[in-house]
Amino acid sequence: MAYDYSRFLRNEKLPHIWCPGCTYGIVLKSFIRAIDSLGWDKNEIVVASGIGCCSRLPGYVDFNTLHTTHGRSIAFATGVKIANPKLKVIALGGDGDMTAIGGNHFIHACRRNIDITVLVFNNNIYGMTGAQYSPTTPKGAWATTAPYGMPENNFDVVNLAIGAGASFVARSTAYHATHCEKMIKEALLHKGLSVVEIINACPTGFGRKNKFKSPTSMLLWMKDKAVQKAKADKMSPEELADKLVIGVLHKEEKPEYVESYDATVGLNKGE
């Protein structure tokens, strides 16, 4: 029997607006299956987004949702979590939303270790607004604002999150849909700031300009470049030079922000 996604969707909002070949629908399904496997009450879940292609996702899911301003999903999510720590709070956004316009919110949420799950849909481009380069556009790649190739070094979202203090950091890809579901589930179960970078394909904005012949070729690129962490641990730096390591890449236990805040000011909102 086919999986019934409609139980978690606002079906009246469909069909979605994503371009043909966009992989966000794959990730949406992984996201739904991950939440379903946890058996959480939909009324206890809050999903916040900023602006951008993936930020339309909260409009399609039947949870408590916030479609906020560009780069501000983590700020809104932080307010929700502080007001009601019992809620399961998820902030999602694209690479530009999270690491450029919302870059400060991203690094400070990691530093605070607030109990929020952050999903970064990384398609290496500002897809919605005209295919301008973002902080994750690979050096040398083409974008409408990089007609001679991207001259800047790009962010590594995983290392950025780890360096800023996130206590759980993972990476997956849209090609690895089941693996993506598992990473999201583990992130949701982690207490503290959890980040999952999900490598996605934007055939319209990025693929056409960078000689990907089809959406399928972008998915196959993910398949070829991805290496599971257990295998990567046995490979040399040279062998990993052009690879994407996927899996749980960092996990530690450390004080959670809301609990630390309440203890500091003498409150106990969690009870």
Domain boundaries, the chain: 6-265
Tell which CATH architecture fits domain 6-265.
3-Layer(aba) Sandwich (3.40)
| pLDDT of the residue at 1 | 76
| pLDDT of the residue at 181 | 98
| pLDDT of the residue at 271 | 52
* Token pair belonging to 30: 């992984």
Reported as half-sphere exposure (CB side, CA atoms, 13 A), residue 71 has a value of 12
| pLDDT of the residue at 150 | 96
| pLDDT of the residue at 113 | 98
Tell me whether strands 64-67 and 194-199 are parallel, antiparallel or unpaired: unpaired
* Cis bond before residue 147 (omega within 30° of 0): no
Q: Burial level of 1, CB count in 10 A (0-12/13-18/19+)? A: exposed
CA distances from 39 to 32, 43, 90, 185, 239 (A): 11, 12, 16, 11, 40
The whole-angstrom separation of Cα 45 and Cα 35 is 9
| pLDDT of the residue at 268 | 65
pTM of the entire predicted model: 0.96
The series of mean pLDDT values per 10 residues for the chain, 271 residues long, is: 94 95 98 97 97 95 96 97 97 96 97 98 94 96 96 97 98 98 98 98 96 96 98 96 97 97 79 52
CA distances from 119 to 211, 224, 233, 269 (A): 27, 23, 24, 26
The whole-angstrom separation of Cα 101 and Cα 114 is 20
| pLDDT of the residue at 269 | 52
| pLDDT of the residue at 206 | 96
Give φ, ψ of 165 to 5 degrees. Answer: 115, 10
| pLDDT of the residue at 266 | 84
| pLDDT of the residue at 19 | 96
The whole-angstrom separation of Cα 92 and Cα 98 is 8
